Amino acid sequence: MSRAQLGGSLAKAYLAVHEAMAAAGAGAKVGAETGRIEFQFNPNELTIAKAASWKSEPARGAKKAGPPEFQGAEPGELSLEMFLDSTATMADDVAKIVQRLMDCCVPTEGSLGKNKPTPPLVVFHWGSLTSFPAYIQQVSAKYTLFTPEGTPVRAVCTVKLKEMPTEPAKQNPTSGGLRPHRVRTVRTGESLATVAYHEYGDAALWRKLAQVNEIDDPLRMRPGTTLLLPSADELAMWSAEAV
């Protein structure tokens, strides 16, 4: 089936790179977007994993083990492959993209002067799919084609992302707090109302999104603004006071 038959335009995948800011508690806060690593070709497949930790203590004198006790959720993981090819130009684009990925595994220049140097956080975007804020756990590049001068012009990169717990949003006495699970970068022409409609199917939820993200003037929200997106259930519990 062709793209014309499916309808819509081709959405290109990319990794949004964000400054990681220390949070008050555990984890980090997603800072401003500092750049993007564009995919030359969209991935053929993605692997997303989430696990829970349970602990079971043996029951003394019993034939069966005691009931397991939930210890907590493990960070989510996302792995994918990036196919890189610059044979059309024979330029060093492949090596540059690989270097940008590997740069995400070392502390940023802005964090080196602080007490806790930190690599950037990344968020995977592909159309309506947005991943959790994560750090790059591993980058593995396999170069498969070179120019006569030794410049790599084709490679397959395996990239593994691991979820970084982000700072919870402002506490609400009626809800017990809100923990956003995803982020979304506002695009040109979007508003809080359109984001609320696309994410939750209800444009009227723009007020709650403004409160969650502490946006004082929703009408002047700029493209590139990063929004924290809680689950629909958590958002429903958020106070509906006027912004």
Which residue, 152, 14, 33, is CA-closest to 92?
A: 152
Alpha carbon separation from 35 to 17, 18, 151, 222, 238 (Å, rounded): 5, 7, 25, 16, 32
**d(C-alpha 19, C-alpha 29), whole Å:** 9
Percent of the chain with pLDDT over 90: 39
What pLDDT score was predicted for residue 125? 92
What pLDDT score was predicted for residue 109? 84
The DSSP result for 5-27, as a single string, is HH-SPPPPPEEEEEEEEE-SSSS
The string of pLDDT tens digits covering residues 120-146 is: 999 999 988 889 899 999 999 999 999
- How far does the chain reach from its first CA to its final CA, in angstroms? 46
What pLDDT score was predicted for residue 227? 83
Which residue, 237, 243, 240, 228, is CA-closest to 177?
A: 237
Contact 235, 217 (CB under 8 A): no
What pLDDT score was predicted for residue 205? 87
CATH fold, domain 182-237, is: Membrane-bound Lytic Murein Transglycosylase D; Chain A (3.10.350)
What pLDDT score was predicted for residue 31? 82
The string of pLDDT tens digits covering residues 100-127 is: 999 999 998 888 877 778 899 999 999 8
* Residue 29: count of CB within 10 angstroms of its CB: 18
Alpha carbon separation from 12 to 15, 24, 43, 125, 179 (Å, rounded): 10, 35, 10, 8, 28
Position with higher pLDDT, 142 vs 167: 142
The string of pLDDT tens digits covering residues 46-97 is: 999 999 888 877 766 666 777 788 888 889 999 999 999 999 999 999 999 9
Mean pLDDT of 222-237: 77
pTM: 0.64
What pLDDT score was predicted for residue 210? 85
Contact 38, 16 (CB under 8 A): no
**d(C-alpha 210, C-alpha 168), whole Å:** 15
What pLDDT score was predicted for residue 56? 79
Any idea where the domains of the chain sit in the sequence? 10-50+72-163, 182-237
Answer yes or no: is pLDDT of 243 > 90: no
* Residue 73: count of CB within 10 angstroms of its CB: 12
